[in-house]
A and B are shown apart, each in its own frame.
Chain A
């Protein structure tokens, strides 16, 4: 960046202007006296924090989703701006995209932590499907959503594969003595967690590769726009963003429909469920030891209750049918004016009991 770079100057000016807007709208006590280096990002955060307690939960969630997108949008603008020495050109954008591509390739080696602010902010864009997946799993996990995430970072620092291999070897040591069963359970849990980490790593690697493909597709699309005189030029940041989204979505759709993704997704769900099931089993044992009802016992009760509900409905239907036939018989005995209304026949189930779970 040079001082004469109009993009940089404008970007800096814009941030100052944005900071002023945020500051004017914030309650006075929330405005810090020191001048932030990154006006926009800090303005955004500080301003929102000052409002958060007043906003209701659905609005808060919703607004946060929008703010996150806003961050990506501004990072996009920054990325475009800081890489342009003069006019915004295809070369300048390609330079920026290549740096993003580089970052994604580093990510795929599982040891990536970029210090570049812009790259870091914009990486959130590719993380969207992964982030969503984490939320999906978080809804099923006994741990907070980022539990395994921190485990990955820790593991990455120790050189993932080697560490895992050593751990697996260590965990296969036979358990001994009075607490043998407990040892085995803990060993099994650790093995399952290592297995899940390994699957998660493969999943992230595949996503990083997809990110690289998305950038390449985007570059191709920009080239196409450059070479096609009939196509209108990109005249707004929003259009730039929309084209980017379209390309990413197309590449993602291809990836999500691949055999590779199907296998990865299946392995990921299965490995997480194995952990949860194992923890559930250990918890049940602890509950039983404390004479507290376990999940297994509650399941049995719920299953029996459901069977009784079914039987009750069958009996009710049979009683209703009997009552109807009695009424009909009585009517037949006493001749009355013929009714034109048809009697409804509640369904009488053939079977009187059915087993609860249909695990076919």
Chain B
């Protein structure tokens, strides 16, 4: 049997249609202009080096949780993904759920930051931001929401400074870095990281971008743009698409020494889960994470496979461990319509019960 039901006329029409959409779509693209991202009003409350600690403005009508929530984002890519646009904002969802939201923006490290270590990030920057929040609110401990690599940092922080963390939420966070489906981990096992960092200094953000795209090259570098042609005549959708593009390619360079430790000791040696990690001369033991933990992961995550996050279960010292599985991908968990409706409200509810 012939698998095709396609005649020359139909093919011609499809091509002409494609061509027309592509041609006319350029006008919309040229009219796009500046693409704002990070939409919720916020105030910078602390700055140090390239880091800025923001506090988001809460809606006046909503009763707030008295314990503020600090979002610790990854060093890879920019944190405005959590507040991309008005109708796609995890931050906004959390504010609406009654949380007092702070966020660390790491900025763009340059060559002068090459020797920033993981110790500097975790026991330095994160700890000082938490102290600032504690002082502002006159409290002993804050709630933390760590995202992706920021989740791993938050776990380490919580193990090292449990007295300062009231509740910990990890979101798409790798804990076991060597699950069989972890493509990134598979790729870096034979890379000489010392040679790479000694040679490069900082790791170019562009290199990470292309590495991520190469995980699904035909879809992410090809099919996606072909599908884009179909929405070129819709200004709003074009803007949404371009905003996402901006975020994808907006990758800060990685401080060399932090990258060295993260890839060697987490990806290549899997030390966190083996209880063999130390940061700043102090042992990082997951059993010290005794505060309530909410572990959120995405079922179709190709960057941090669900099993890499699920590995946290049973490994911490908490008696109050909850998992939340989201049916989507690594990015969809912040920006999809379903995520907006489910994830921030679930976090809010979980935190309120423990406030």
Contact = CB atoms under 8 A, between A and B. Distances in A.
Given A129-B217, A342-B138, A358-B117, A273 B183 contact: no
A256 B183 contact: yes
A117 to B, nearest CB: 17
Interface in A69-101: 69-70, 72-74, 77, 80-81, 87-90, 93
A245 interface: yes
Given A269-B196, A270-B191, A344-B131, A10 B9 contact: yes
B342 interface: no
A77 B11 contact: yes
Nearest to B133: A344
A356 B210 contact: no
A145 B260 CA distance: 25
Interface residues of A: mostly helix, strand, loop or mixed? Answer: helix
Interface residues of A, number: 109
A288 to B, nearest CB: 18
Contact of B225 (A66, A87, A225): A66
B217 A354 contact: no
A21 B16 CA distance: 9
A25 B117 CA distance: 54
Given A10-B8, A17-B16, A256-B187, A245 B207 contact: no
A241 B11 CA distance: 13
A266 B191 contact: yes
Interface string B187-199: 1011110111011
A265 B15 CA distance: 38
A305 interface: yes
A14 B115 contact: no
B186 A257 contact: yes
Given A54-B30, A55-B30, A347-B131, A139 B210 contact: yes
A128 B220 CA distance: 10
A292 interface: no
A263 interface: yes
Interface stretch (A28-36, A56-64, A169-177, A182-190): A56-64
Interface stretch (A146-154, A160-168, A231-239): A231-239
Nearest to A126: B218
B204 A139 contact: yes
A270 B116 CA distance: 23
Interface residues of B, number: 89
A331 interface: no
Interface of B: 1-12, 14-16, 18-20, 22-23, 26, 29-30, 32, 49, 111-112, 114-120, 123-124, 127-128, 131, 134-135, 138-140, 161, 181, 183, 186-187, 189-192, 194-196, 198-201, 204, 206-207, 210-211, 213-219, 221-223, 225-226, 228-229, 242, 245-246, 257, 260-261, 264-265, 280-281
Interface of A: 6-7, 9-11, 13-14, 17-18, 21-22, 25, 40, 47, 51, 54-56, 58-59, 62-63, 65-70, 72-74, 77, 80-81, 87-90, 93, 125, 128-129, 131-133, 135-136, 139-140, 222-223, 225-227, 229, 233-238, 240-242, 245, 248-249, 252-253, 256-257, 261-263, 265-267, 269-270, 273-274, 276-277, 280, 295, 298-299, 302-303, 305-307, 309-310, 313, 341-342, 344, 346-347, 349-351, 354, 356-360
Given A266-B192, A270-B190, 18 more contacts: A6-B8, A14-B12, A18-B15, A47-B23, A59-B29, A66-B226, A69-B226, A87-B7, A90-B2, A139-B210, A233-B5, A234-B6, A235-B10, A238-B226, A256-B186, A266-B189, A346-B131, A351-B280
